[in-house]
Structure 1
Amino acid sequence: MDPRPDIAANRLSPHCLAINFADAHPPLTGGQASIEADRCYFCYDAPCVEACPTGIDIPGFIRGIATGNLAGAAHTILESNILGGSCARVCPTEILCEGACVRTAQEEKPVVIGALQRHATDWQMDSGTQPFSRAAETGRHIAIVGAGPAGLACAHRLAMHGHAVTILDARPRAGGLNEYGIAAYKLPDDFAQHEIDFIAAIGGITIQTDRILGRDVTLADLEAAYDAVFLAIGQAGVRMLGIEGENLDGVMNAVDFIAGLRASATGADVPIGRRVVVIGGGNTAIDAAVQARRLGAEEVTLVYRRGAETMSATGVEKAWAQTNGVTIRTWAAPLRLDGVDGTLRSVTFTRGRLHDGRPVHDQGNFTLEADMVLKAVGQLFLADPLDRGTIAIENGRIAVDDQGRTTRSLVYAGGDCTPGADLTVVAVRDGRNAAEAIHADLTAATGA
């Protein structure tokens, strides 16, 4: 067997790459948006609102579109979800607002709420104006650790209340998951940075990058220098497979692969194998697999240890993968990674089945040849940067109340580092709610 790795960049022409990583779902035209808005029943106590983690008044903003009031529609969205533009692009609307649309009960296609939300928020961002203004400056200064969706949402709401905000982020660019963890074709054209510029335009927000909690500053330092602290530090750890061969050349974490592609201007310089195996069953696994195909991999196989019905990836995402030529194999758990001279050549899996309600892998083994393996088996919250023993950690995440208060006074947390679904829209809700709690607590403490 040839021991040389078969991983290379520039598998496709620049023209093909440009097409493959262009906006996967182009925006609605004005006419299309008007027609779709007219399909809304404008329900009282609308179930779509209940299904939205940020509680956007969906019938209200769609009525704005239907009547030609895009400014009003955008304001309605953004007052609940300041990252409404990115959420319109990346939210699993099929299991949230659109999944709850009453038209589905009539076996009809739901109103395309996500596309309508994008139509309104894009109009607002393209207008170059900030629809919100700051209250009078309070003289209070809050530190936010993490410039992802939770941190940005918290910062904007605090700035609206007149507080000064400094965001510290470990990465070279702000944006968190939206900048580094989302498939390039979902947020193309540097959208994450444009949205950050839009959010920061309210004023009072300073962003410092390459600032790492635990290395450059401690939580105690922040508490001494600021009136309150909001932790939006996400999940920096990655789960290991814990099997033989995990350190072979050609094996990497899917999140690193996606981040590397997001950092590339064209994708041409991102190496990809001919035969790629992705291990995992979530949306990160889907994003990695589809992007591998779109970079020019000849065979991409996504392998999941249990049945398709237990995959955390949504049905739409699984269908998207198959549409893009990804093969999905279920009931297969990785047993070992085999290589020659330190370089990956194949992956051996055990076959499984459901027995008495439990997964049992006793159906023998099979092997897939592979030049590259992308591991997408989950991320972990790392508590190391925190002052241990001073903030409660429960089930591997920071314990908070329903407003984001931790067990440490005037320290709050939200997003993926706290319990709950790991969704952008949930992180935005956490950041927004924590900002309101911070404002209330600081106001109560000073009586003003």
Structure 2
Amino acid sequence: MSEGMLKQGIVPGRLEPGQYARNFSDLHPRLDKHEAFVEADRCYFCFDAPCMHACPTSIDIPMFIREISTDNPLGAAETIFEQNILGGMCARVCPTEQLCEEACVRMEAEGKPVKIGQLQRYATDIAMEENAQFFERAPSTGKKIAVVGAGPAGLAAAHRLAVHGHDVTIYDARPKAGGLNEYGIATYKTPDGFAQAEVEYVTAIGGIDIELGQALGKELSLEGLLKTHDAVFLGVGLGGVNALRAEGESTADDGLAAAVDFISELRQSDDLSKLPVGRRIVVIGGGMTAIDAAVQSKLLGAEDVTICYRRGQEHMNASGFEQDLAASKGVRIRHWLQPKRILTENGRVTGIELEYTTLTEGRLVGMGHTLTLPADQVFKAIGQTLEDETAAGLALSGGRIAVDAEGRTSRPGVWAGGDCIDKGDDLTVTAVAQGRDAAESIHRYLSGN
């Protein structure tokens, strides 16, 4: 074991300098031309296309794969972007193994689906590298729309509205546009500044301005936006983090953090060797954020990383692929454990006490006996909440903004989409679909239909 791995506490530089680049290199490098042809040739081009029905954005998957097979990657990209303007990012982060690829007939027949996600990346990467634009902005309508949130839902809504000739201003609280695509996804999934490249590609159609450092409830108000715009779309995501509700949580000043904040800091780091990480890490949660935080902790040089989830493996929101990825990196996943007490010494985390759980008549209950794990860093990845100031005056459902089938909120002239709404499911591809569809609803509203 190297000297760096023996460092105690939360410190930077646990690995040799060159190791960071290797650890955080592209998880799925792009297929080359020959690989894409071979993979496209495996597609049956099904008439009923179960893969297409499994895609939240309804991309015509057989069509774009056929276009790749005939050496027409730009045509394939156009087919993808017609339904999903963020198809490049979705090709990288979408859980295709649970959606289109799970529905693939090859999966049913052989247990090995067509690599739809990688084929989608092949086509969209070529289009973006060549800056091939497939949409023309309609003549200006003179209508102005405010889009709050520059994440997947906001970007998709803005692009579709711009296509229809409306003038769009995107407001975002962060220093960069992109939302969770920029701040909340594991670095090895989207290296080399892809999120910003995609923002530039989407906004290249024109008619879209971006104003950063503008937060709803602070610099902006819904009332003010409605006075200066013809419609408002909210794609504000979820800014709050659920509490562990464990004893000692409020006194843990050093070593207890939200997993999303850790991932954001890592994503914005220019030098990963300077990013502190603990020697022993415990991540609480069972979704993609928990996996991303745990795997990246290991890649930064943490010696021992454990994910603890309160239910069984079959209940985890993280896909089987993501769970296998974590295991392959040396992350342990333990089930049927819930946090009971954060152990601290002078405010510094030293461990966590967890209680074993079970299901009784469909209800999760503690069993009374516990397990203690030593840790110098504990990450919370148990879900996020809607911040009150982002939904002032709007009806809520389940703690999120209530919308109808078209994304309309309880307030006339205001639409919403993405994680902030009651129909959100924490997937980039779903947020894109909701932003796109809300934009069409806004266009009909502004057109008098």
1:109 matched to which residue of 2? 112
| Residue deviations 1:332-357 (CA, integer Å, cap 9, x gap) | 11110111111111111112233444
1:331 matched to which residue of 2? 336
Q: Distance in 2 between matches of 1:123 and 1:372?
A: 41
Residues 186 and 48 (structure 1), Cα distance of their counterparts in 2 relative to 1, 3 Å cut: same
Q: Kindly indicate whether the alpha-carbon contact (under 8 Å) linking 1:18 and 1:266 is maintained by their aligned counterparts in 2.
A: no
User: What amino acid maps onto 1:321 in structure 2?
Assistant: A
Q: Kindly indicate whether the alpha-carbon contact (under 8 Å) linking 1:218 and 1:386 is maintained by their aligned counterparts in 2.
A: no
1:15 matched to which residue of 2? 18
Shift of 1:5: 6.6
2:4 matched to which residue of 1? none
Shift of 1:308: 0.9
**TM-score normalised by structure 2 residue count:** 0.96
User: What amino acid maps onto 1:424 in structure 2?
Assistant: T
Q: Distance in 2 between matches of 1:131 and 1:124?
A: 9
User: What amino acid maps onto 1:160 in structure 2?
Assistant: V
1:186 matched to which residue of 2? 189
1:402 aligns with 2:405: yes
Residues 242 and 360 (structure 1), Cα distance of their counterparts in 2 relative to 1, 3 Å cut: closer
2:3 matched to which residue of 1? none
Local SS of the residue matching 1:272: coil
Q: Kindly indicate whether the alpha-carbon contact (under 8 Å) linking 2:159 and 2:203 is maintained by their aligned counterparts in 1.
A: yes
Which sections of structure 1, spanning at least 5 residues, go unmatched?
none
Q: Which region of structure 1 is more displaced relative to structure 2, 356-365 or 166-175?
A: 356-365
1:170 matched to which residue of 2? 173
Local SS of the residue matching 1:384: helix
Q: Distance in 2 between matches of 1:15 and 1:405?
A: 50
1:62-77 → structure 2 map (5 Å cutoff): 62-77=65-80
1:442 matched to which residue of 2? 446
Which sections of structure 2, spanning at least 5 residues, go unmatched?
1-6
User: What amino acid maps onto 1:426 in structure 2?
Assistant: T
Q: Distance in 1 between matches of 2:364 and 2:222?
A: 43
Q: Distance in 2 between matches of 1:337 and 1:402?
A: 42
Q: Distance in 1 between matches of 2:420 and 2:151?
A: 12
Q: Distance in 1 between matches of 2:398 and 2:354?
A: 30
Q: Kindly indicate whether the alpha-carbon contact (under 8 Å) linking 1:307 and 1:331 is maintained by their aligned counterparts in 2.
A: yes
1:253 aligns with 2:241: no
Q: Kindly indicate whether the alpha-carbon contact (under 8 Å) linking 2:236 and 2:390 is maintained by their aligned counterparts in 1.
A: no
User: What amino acid maps onto 1:113 in structure 2?
Assistant: I
| Residue deviations 1:302-322 (CA, integer Å, cap 9, x gap) | 111111111111111111100
User: What amino acid maps onto 1:18 in structure 2?
Assistant: A
1:53 matched to which residue of 2? 56
User: What amino acid maps onto 2:410 in structure 1?
Assistant: T
1:423 aligns with one of 422, 427, 432: 427
The number of aligned residues is 440
Q: Distance in 1 between matches of 2:292 and 2:281?
A: 13
Q: Kindly indicate whether the alpha-carbon contact (under 8 Å) linking 2:167 and 2:207 is maintained by their aligned counterparts in 1.
A: yes
1:230 matched to which residue of 2? 233
Q: Kindly indicate whether the alpha-carbon contact (under 8 Å) linking 1:336 and 1:349 is maintained by their aligned counterparts in 2.
A: yes
Q: Distance in 1 between matches of 2:298 and 2:111?
A: 33
Q: Distance in 2 between matches of 1:279 and 1:399?
A: 28
Q: Distance in 2 between matches of 1:135 and 1:403?
A: 22
RMSD: 1.2
User: What amino acid maps onto 1:44 in structure 2?
Assistant: F
Shift of 1:254: 0.3
Q: Distance in 1 between matches of 2:448 and 2:189?
A: 42
User: What amino acid maps onto 2:111 in structure 1?
Assistant: E
2:158 matched to which residue of 1? 155
Q: Which region of structure 1 is more displaced relative to structure 2, 393-402 or 288-297?
A: 393-402
Q: Distance in 2 between matches of 1:22 and 1:94?
A: 21
2:384 matched to which residue of 1? 379
Q: Distance in 1 between matches of 2:8 and 2:38?
A: 52
User: What amino acid maps onto 1:288 in structure 2?
Assistant: A
| Residue deviations 1:353-380 (CA, integer Å, cap 9, x gap) | 3344433321511110001001101101
1:291 aligns with one of 296, 302, 309: 296
Q: Distance in 2 between matches of 1:343 and 1:193?
A: 36
Q: Kindly indicate whether the alpha-carbon contact (under 8 Å) linking 2:391 and 2:401 is maintained by their aligned counterparts in 1.
A: no
Shift of 1:27: 0.8
Q: Distance in 2 between matches of 1:359 and 1:396?
A: 21
Local SS of the residue matching 1:364: strand
| Residue deviations 1:182-210 (CA, integer Å, cap 9, x gap) | 00000110100000000011011100110
